[in-house]
Structure 1
């Protein structure tokens, strides 16, 4: 395995993040902080708790997951799309670098940026809402799995997209609505029975439920199911990336 190639791609992508610090870190943190102020401190103080957890604290894991999903996809998709756009992707493909090393460099950098962002938001949330973390190791595990999985998903979107409009299509029209409807601001047990069953087809429900369990020990679905669904989606993304490099889909055209 070419460690130097992975490190070169990784360091280049991380350096791009520091050059665009305002867009990559500051803007998402400020946007999420506004949610904490409005929903957590202002509205949450006048609402009853959910499953024994105050509303302000209840939405913390959902908001962190919302930022984590969107930023993982955005970081990874733009990271691989830009070399396609300017034509430098052919230099990478012609270099003695394997597909695994290319994916490891780009996805590793995107996941690292998302994890850093998630931890910053976690610390920032403490300034507005008191909360606890009952299972910190599980919290970090869900954070890592989600960041890697959706960075892979973003990598796939970056390969698939052939213009900047398509690059934003899936995150805006699919991922963000699924996150809002996946229990970020409520428990799915608050829904009518029919809609509870419909919501279980939303994969984001399992991510948010498992992540919330690591904070408060309460979940909409079993934590084992949450981990299993995350691993299934990870496996699907890995299979898709393998097929892309095997077939050259939108890489060699």
Structure 2
């Protein structure tokens, strides 16, 4: 394994983040803080508890997951799209660097950014609502696993996209609505039986539910199922990336 190649790609992407700190970190944190101000501090005290948890604290895992998913996808998608757009991807593909090392560098950097951003948002949330984390190890596990999985998904989108507008289609028109409809602001127990069944087909439900369990010790879906669904999506992304490099899909043309 060429660790120097991985470190070079990883370092380049992390340096790019430091150059655009306002856009990469400050903007998402401020946007998420608005949700905490409105739903946590203003509306939260007037809402009934959900599963014995104050409403302001209840929405924290969902809002963290919303930011984690969108930022993981966007970071990885833009990271691999720009080399394709400028043509420097051919230099990378002709270098003595394996597909695994390329993916490890780009996805590792995107997942690191998202994980750090998630921890910053968690610290920010604690300023607005009281939080108790019952399973901190599982919280970190879900945080890192989700960041890596959706960074891989973003990497796939960055290869698939043939224009800047397509980079935003999946995060804005698919992931964000699915997250809002995946139990970010409510428990599935609040839904009628029919809609609860329909909602279980939303894959984001399992991510939010597992993440919420790490905070409060209970969730809408069993934590084992949530973890298994995340691993299954990770496996699908790995297989897809392997196929893209093996066939040269939109990498060599």
Task: Tell me the TM-score normalised to structure 1 length.
Answer: 1.00
What per-residue deviation string (whole Å, max 9, x for no partner) do you get for residues 148-207 of structure 1?
000000000000001000010111110000000000111111111001011111110000
SS class of match (2:59): helix
Matches of 1:180 and 1:247 in 2, distance apart?
A: 36
2:232 corresponds in structure 1 to: 232
Query: What is the match of residue 174 of structure 2?
Result: 174
Match of 1:22 in 2: 22
2:62 is matched with 62
Return 5+ residue gaps in structure 1 as ranges: none
What is the distance in 1 between the residues matched to 2:244 and 2:195?
Answer: 36
Aligned equivalents of 1:130, 1:153: Cα separation in 2: 33
Per the TM alignment, residue 251 of structure 1 is displaced from its structure 2 partner at its CA by: 0.2
2:139 corresponding residue in structure 1 = 139
Distance in 2 between the 1:30 and 1:180 partners? 18
Following superposition, the deviation at residue 218 of structure 1 comes to 1.3
Distance (Å, rounded) in 2 between the aligned partners of 1:8 and 1:207: 32
Query: Is 1:102 the equivalent of 2:102?
Result: yes
Q: Could you tell me how far apart the structure 1 residues matched to 2:180 and 2:100 are?
A: 33
Give the Cα–Cα distance (whole angstroms) in 1 for the partners of residues 216 and 207 of structure 2: 15
CA distance in 2, matches of 1:66, 1:91: 35
Give the count of matched residue pairs: 253
Q: Which residue of structure 2 aligns with residue 162 of structure 1? A: 162
Map 1:209-220; keep pairs closer than 5 Å: 209-220=209-220
- For residue 35 of structure 2, give the secondary structure of its aligned residue in structure 1: helix
Unaligned runs of 5+ in 2: none
RMSD of aligned alpha carbons: 0.4
Hey, what's the Cα distance between the residues in 1 that align with 2:194 and 2:164?
38
Query: With structure 2 as the length reference, what TM-score do the two structures score?
Result: 1.00
Separation in 1 of the partners of 2:215 and 2:170?
A: 29
Q: Secondary structure at the match of 2:249?
A: coil
